[in-house]
């Protein structure tokens, strides 16, 4: 997809003059373990900016850290970054986030906060010991318990048991977590959870606490479905109805997993592609860890209506997807890797396809979220052809990669791919062995959009997602029907092809001609990117004035846009059914209206 650019996701703080260090601790000269020092980096009278630095002064790696301190009455932290900061009255606790808990000998890490009041921290503790290193903090935290096993599953209860964790100080108790939230603390290695809802999926993990009150990592997750009928029947029909959920949408777009519930879309889809994981050095990696599994949600923001806690093992989008699946058990979630921006690493991945597949499975099956994902999607733009960069790995590389993924993931996982829809002679479909690769994949998401747009600044104006060809189309083969026909001719079964729908429009400015084929001077203004705008905006700002090749277009002022509407989607779904296609997919949820007009059109059209 041409416009899949990852939004900047960092948090910025003011660059302010550095104030003097306030040393609550200085590293001891003797054999020490870990220290914490505090600095007030800015003071503006009624408030201030503070920074803690944690340093491993020992000889062994530490895997987590917790800094505690007291503020005098009237002083508090108001916001924080690079740590999860909570308080109980005037006692404050800062715990590492997922990416900065491990410190090798000699390494250090800092976190900061904005505060109000005039006081300074006192009574500093680090991992239960002193912050100056003169007394050794608690030794290693407990190991992870074994992944729980489930038995005696009923409509409303399940018995869980697990193998014990180990710790040099001895295990005190275990926390049992359901869907990431603690539901019990027990001294033994079993627990019966009750009061559950029949026909519902739940995910359980366990973590240990030692006699020094250190908490270890969570176990692997076990997914349990209670017996009885689910309260949310799956959508009718046997067609795939898949939407992309963007990782970065939680920032500027302010679009979260809960929006799938409030819009009514969750009840009308069958699958979600979570996008995008990155491909670096020939390996699958999580891209934005904060959005994926660290961002804390309040009760009103979360799918379950329960607020995240600082110490739960999984937060962010992944935990929200877990909660969504508990509420809508019919939904399957795939982790999508690549996209327009992150496809540059696929060539290296194809050179060692088995190692790539193994790395992808380790990400998808990470024990913190193994129950969230039901499969993997590869969005390589484009094998043996040019996208943001040009790939020269050869026509067999895509098939090799697909075969390795299926071998690694096995028959029980979904393995899919988003692919080009260039149906021209000698075009991108002809550049790779999509026919040969199809045997290893459950389906193809055929990206039947972005054919035309203001990346050709002077036009001619043309619908970006034409269903069929039409007289005057700027490029032969650039339409859905030709792309689908070409893939079928290469041996791809119709049922393994999904028709793509864009929940956005592409547009030009400087256009005087209402009908397609006009000249332009450049891209029309867009909320996030010139030449692109969400359907939810365009339906009101530039209503459709005509249709061409199964897609709507609109001429308003000197701007010209093309986009799909509920009416054109309904026609496209009828065509997909007539072709025996496996269903449809769309890019992406946040472009739809608050009540999910376009998702409803896909759902209704495929019934």
Q: Of residues 381, 408, 588, 597, which has the active-site annotation? A: 381
Task: Give me the mean pLDDT over the 478-498 stretch.
Answer: 97
Query: Does position 211 have pLDDT exceeding 90, yes or no?
Result: no
Does residue 431 lie in a domain region? yes
Determine the pLDDT at residue 97. Answer: 84
Tell me, what's the pLDDT at 114? 83
Is residue 200 pLDDT above 80, yes or no? yes
Q: Say whether both 299 and 360 belong to one domain.
A: yes
Q: Is 102 within a domain?
A: yes
pLDDT for 134: 65
Quick: pLDDT tens for 153-179: 999 999 999 999 998 778 999 999 888
Residue 356 and residue 249 in one domain? yes
Which pLDDT does position 15 carry in this prediction?
31
DSSP 360-413: HHHHHT-TTTTTT-SEEEEE-S-TTSBSSSB--S-TTHHHHHHHHHHHHH-TTS
pTM: 0.70
| 33-54 pLDDT per residue, tens | 789 999 888 777 767 888 999 9
430-434 long-range CB contacts below 8 Å, 24 or more apart? Answer: 430/486, 431/382, 431/383, 431/384, 431/385, 431/395, 432/382, 432/383, 432/384, 432/385, 432/395, 432/397, 432/398, 432/399, 433/395, 433/396, 433/398, 433/399, 434/398, 434/487, 434/490, 434/492
Is residue 404 located within the same domain as residue 464? yes
Q: Is residue 15 included in any domain, yes or no?
A: no
Select from 190, 225, 260 the last residue of a domain.
Answer: 225
Predicted local confidence at residue 333, as pLDDT: 98
pLDDT the model gives residue 88: 85
Residue 234 in this model has a pLDDT that exceeds 60: no
Identify whether 317 is part of a domain. yes
Do 221 and 118 share a structural domain? no
Q: Which residue has the higher pLDDT, 396 or 232?
A: 396
- Mean pLDDT for 194-211 is 87
Domain identity same for 69 and 93: yes
Do 219 and 245 belong together in one domain? no
pLDDT at 521: 98
The CATH number of residue 89's host domain is 2.60.40.290
pLDDT(558) > 80: yes
| Per-residue pLDDT at 1 exceeds 60 | no
Choose the final residue of a domain: 77, 97, 130. Answer: 130
- What mean pLDDT comes out for the span 510-538? 97
What domain range is 209 assigned to? 149-225
Q: Are residues 249 and 114 both part of a single domain?
A: no
Give residue 587's pLDDT: 98
- In this predicted structure, what is the pLDDT of residue 258? 97
Q: What is the pLDDT of residue 80?
A: 82
Segment 121-126 shows an average pLDDT of 91
Clarify whether residues 41 and 190 are in a common domain: no
Structural domain tally of the chain?
3
Domain of 179, CATH number, reads: 2.60.40.10
- Residue 23, pLDDT > 90, answer no
Residue 533 maps to a domain? no
365 has catalytic annotation: no
Average pLDDT over the chain, rounded to an integer: 89
Residue with the larger pLDDT of the pair 141 and 8: 141
Answer whether residue 20 shows pLDDT above 70. no
In a domain, 93, yes or no: yes
| CATH label of the domain that carries residue 437 | 3.20.20.80
- Mean of pLDDT values over 182-188: 92
Q: Which of residues 419 and 107 earns the better pLDDT score?
A: 419
- pLDDT category at 237 given cuts 50, 70, 90 is low
- Over residues 569-584, mean pLDDT: 97
* DSSP strands (E only) in 478-607: 497-502, 504-509, 522-523, 532-534, 546-548, 551-556, 559-563, 583-587
For residues 112 and 84, give the distance between their C-alpha atoms in angstroms, rounded to a whole number. Answer: 10
Do 168 and 266 lie in one domain? The reply is no
Judged against a pLDDT cut of 90, whether residue 561 lies above it is answered with yes
166 and 111 fall within a common domain: no
| Residue-wise pLDDT tens digits, 316-369 | 999 999 999 999 999 999 999 999 999 999 999 999 999 999 999 999 999 889
Tokens 């889809």 found at: 269
164 in a structural domain? yes
In a domain, 51, yes or no: yes
- Are 202 and 158 in contact, with CB atoms under 8 Å apart? yes
Last residue of one domain, picked from the residues 66, 95, 130: 130
Instruction: Report the C-alpha dihedral over residues 309, 310, 316, 322, rounded to 10 degrees.
Output: -40
Say what angle helices 397-409 and 353-364 make with each other, to 10 degrees. 40
Separation CA 551–CA 588 (nearest Å): 17
CA angle at residue 192 from 189 to 195, to 5 degrees?
A: 150
Q: What is the pLDDT of residues 259-288, one digit of tens each?
A: 999 999 999 999 999 999 999 999 999 999
Based on the fold, state whether residues 71 and 156 are members of the same structural domain. no
Q: Are 194 and 157 in contact (CB under 8 A)?
A: yes
Per-residue model confidence (pLDDT) at position 138: 46
The answer, yes or no, to whether residue 381 has pLDDT greater than 50, is: yes
At residue 201 the predicted structure's pLDDT band, cuts being 50, 70 and 90, is confident
Cis bond before residue 382 (omega within 30° of 0): yes
Do residues 244 and 365 both lie within one domain?
A: yes
What's the pLDDT band for 135 if we cut at 50, 70, 90? low
């Amino acid at each position: 997809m041409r416009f899949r650019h990852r939004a900047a996701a960092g948090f910025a703080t003011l660059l302010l003059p550095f104030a003097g260090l306030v040393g609550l601790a200085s590293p001891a000269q003797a054999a020490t373990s870990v220290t914490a020092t505090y600095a007030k980096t800015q003071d503006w009278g009624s408030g201030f900016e503070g920074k803690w630095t944690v340093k491993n002064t020992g000889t062994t790696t530490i895997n987590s850290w917790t800094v505690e301190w007291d503020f005098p009455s009237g002083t508090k932290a108001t916001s924080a970054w690079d740590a999860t900061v909570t308080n109980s009255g005037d006692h404050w606790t800062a715990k590492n986030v997922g990416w900065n808990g491990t410190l090798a000998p000699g390494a250090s890490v800092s976190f900061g906060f904005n505060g109000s009041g005039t006081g300074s921290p006192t009574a500093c503790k680090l991992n239960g010991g002193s912050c100056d290193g003169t007394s050794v903090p608690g030794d290693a935290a407990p190991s992870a318990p074994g992944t729980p096993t489930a038995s005696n599953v009923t409509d409303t209860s399940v018995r869980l048991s697990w193998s014990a964790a180990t710790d040099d100080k001895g295990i005190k108790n275990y926390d049992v977590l359901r869907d990431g939230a603690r539901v019990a603390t027990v001294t033994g290695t079993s627990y019966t959870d009750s009061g559950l809802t029949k026909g519902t999926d739940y995910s359980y993990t366990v973590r240990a606490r030692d006699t020094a009150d250190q908490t270890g990592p969570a176990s692997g997750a076990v997914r349990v479905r209670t017996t009885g009928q689910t309260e949310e029947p799956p959508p009718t029909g046997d067609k795939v109805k898949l939407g992309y959920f963007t990782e970065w949408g939680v920032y500027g777009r302010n679009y979260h997993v809960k929006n799938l519930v409030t819009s009514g879309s969750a009840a009308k889809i069958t699958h979600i592609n979570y996008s995008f994981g990155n491909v670096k050095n020939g390996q699958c990696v999580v891209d934005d860890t904060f959005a994926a599994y660290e961002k804390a949600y309040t009760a009103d923001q979360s799918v379950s209506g329960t607020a995240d806690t600082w110490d739960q093992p999984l937060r962010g989008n992944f935990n929200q997807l877990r909660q969504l699946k508990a509420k809508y058990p019919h939904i399957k979630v795939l982790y999508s890797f690549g996209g327009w921006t992150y496809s540059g690493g696929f060539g290296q991945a194809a050179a060692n396809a088995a190692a790539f597949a193994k790395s992808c499975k380790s990400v998808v099956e990470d024990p913190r979220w193994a129950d969230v994902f039901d499969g993997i999607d590869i969005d390589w733009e484009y094998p043996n052809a040019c996208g943001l960069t040009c790939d020269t790995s050869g026509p067999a590389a895509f098939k090799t990669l697909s075969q390795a993924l299926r071998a690694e993931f096995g028959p029980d996982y979904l393995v899919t791919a988003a692919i080009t829809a260039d149906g021209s002679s000698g075009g991108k479909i002809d550049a790779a062995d999509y026919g040969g690769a199809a045997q290893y994949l459950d389906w193809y998401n055929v990206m039947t959009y972005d054919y035309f747009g203001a990346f050709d600044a002077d036009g001619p104006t043309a619908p970006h997602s034409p269903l069929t060809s039409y007289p005057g189309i700027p490029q032969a083969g650039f339409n859905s029907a030709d792309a689908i026909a070409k893939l079928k001719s290469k041996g791809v079964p119709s049922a393994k092809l999904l028709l793509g729908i864009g929940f956005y429009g592409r547009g030009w400015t400087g256009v005087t001609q209402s009908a397609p084929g006009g000249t332009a001077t450049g891209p029309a203004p867009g909320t996030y990117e010139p030449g692109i705008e969400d359907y939810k905006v365009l339906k009101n700002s530039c209503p459709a004035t005509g249709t061409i090749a199964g897609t709507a277009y609109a001429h308003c002022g000197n701007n010209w846009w093309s986009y799909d509407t509920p009416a054109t989607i309904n026609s496209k779904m009828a065509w997909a059914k007539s072709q025996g296609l496996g269903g449809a997919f769309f890019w992406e949820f946040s472009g739809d209206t608050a009540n999910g007009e376009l998702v409803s059109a896909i759902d209704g059209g495929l019934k």
